[in-house]
Amino acid sequence: MNLATKTLTAALFVVAGAAFAETEATDPIVIGHQDLMKSIAGASKVLGGMASGSTAYDAAAAEAAKALLIKDAADIAVKFKEPGSDPASGAKPEIWTNWEDFVVKANALGTAATALDVASADSIKAGMGAVGGACKDCHTTYRLSTN
Ligand code: HEC
């Protein structure tokens, strides 16, 4: 590939990625999956912000985010029970053929969230690796990489 082709390929890739990301799910079941993940991401962001020092430590907000993360992790096995059908879904069909393993990975997030000590920014920082690891472990296996 010459440089011009490479540049064009990269540009098309970016455009295709943007178009894909703009596709909104319409199946309520899939919207339910994605809304739960957005809530999980929101709670992680609050905790991650305090861990990195980009936001000030706030004990009440940290407790609330931890509680939400635990609740949402338990909700994964409930909300994902039905596959739904939507081209905008980033869920791999293997979730429903390996359901027990998927639930093990959901529970691992619950365990990491429960173990999180939110007494200080430093203690949150110490526990966030395990939380992020649980996200990554499930996404690697059960989330489409294009999503
Ligand atoms: C047990 C599996 C599992 C765990 C654990 C998990 N996820 Fe997900 N996540 C998924 C799947 C499957 C999707 C794709 C859902 C879809 O697009 O229908 C997803 C999608 C997402 C999305 C995109 C949602 C959207 O609007 O399309 C975000 C953001 C996300 N996850 C964040 C996280 C974060 C942050 C964590 C950890 C704190 C986490 N997830 C833990 C399985 C998991």
Q: Distance (Å, rounded) from C-alpha 111 to C-alpha 146?
A: 28
What is the number of domains present in the chain?
1
Answer yes or no: is 32 within a domain. Answer: yes
| Residue 132 one-letter amino acid | G
17-60 tens-digit pLDDT: 444 555 899 999 999 999 999 999 999 999 999 999 999 999 99
Q: Which domain holds residue 71?
A: 25-142
From 17, 41, 12, 1, select the one nearest 147 (Cα to Cα).
Answer: 17
Answer yes or no: is 39 within a domain. Answer: yes
On whether the CB atoms of residues 80 and 95 are closer than 8 A, the answer is yes
Answer yes or no: is 34 within a domain. Answer: yes
139 in a labelled binding site = yes
**pLDDT value of residue 28:** 97
**pLDDT value of residue 41:** 98
| R_g of the chain, CA atoms, integer Å | 18
Answer yes or no: is 61 within a domain. Answer: yes
pLDDT at 8 over 80: no
Q: Distance (Å, rounded) from C-alpha 111 to C-alpha 76?
A: 13
CATH of the domain at 106: 1.20.120.10
Q: Distance (Å, rounded) from C-alpha 60 to C-alpha 36?
A: 22
- Please list every protein residue whose CB sits less than 6 Å from any atom of ligand 1: 30, 33-34, 37-38, 40-41, 44, 76, 89-91, 102, 105-106, 109, 131, 134-135, 138-139, 142-143, 147
Find all residues with CB under 8 Å of 84, minimum gap 6, and list them.
27, 28, 29, 30, 32, 33
Answer yes or no: is 29 within a domain. Answer: yes
Rounded distance from Cα 73 to ligand 1 centre (Å): 10
Ligand 1 atom with the smallest distance to the CA of 69 is 38
- The mean pLDDT of 113-132, rounded to a whole number, is 98
**pLDDT value of residue 14:** 47
63-114 tens-digit pLDDT: 999 999 999 999 999 999 999 999 999 999 999 999 999 999 999 999 999 9
CA 138 centroid distance within chain: 9
Q: Ligand 1, atom 2: nearest CA belongs to which residue?
A: 138
Answer yes or no: is 20 within a domain. Answer: no
Answer yes or no: is 10 within a domain. Answer: no
**pLDDT value of residue 7:** 52
pTM for this model (two decimals): 0.88
Confidence of residue 6 (pLDDT cuts 50, 70, 90): low
Residue with tokens 């991401």: 41
Answer yes or no: is 11 within a domain. Answer: no
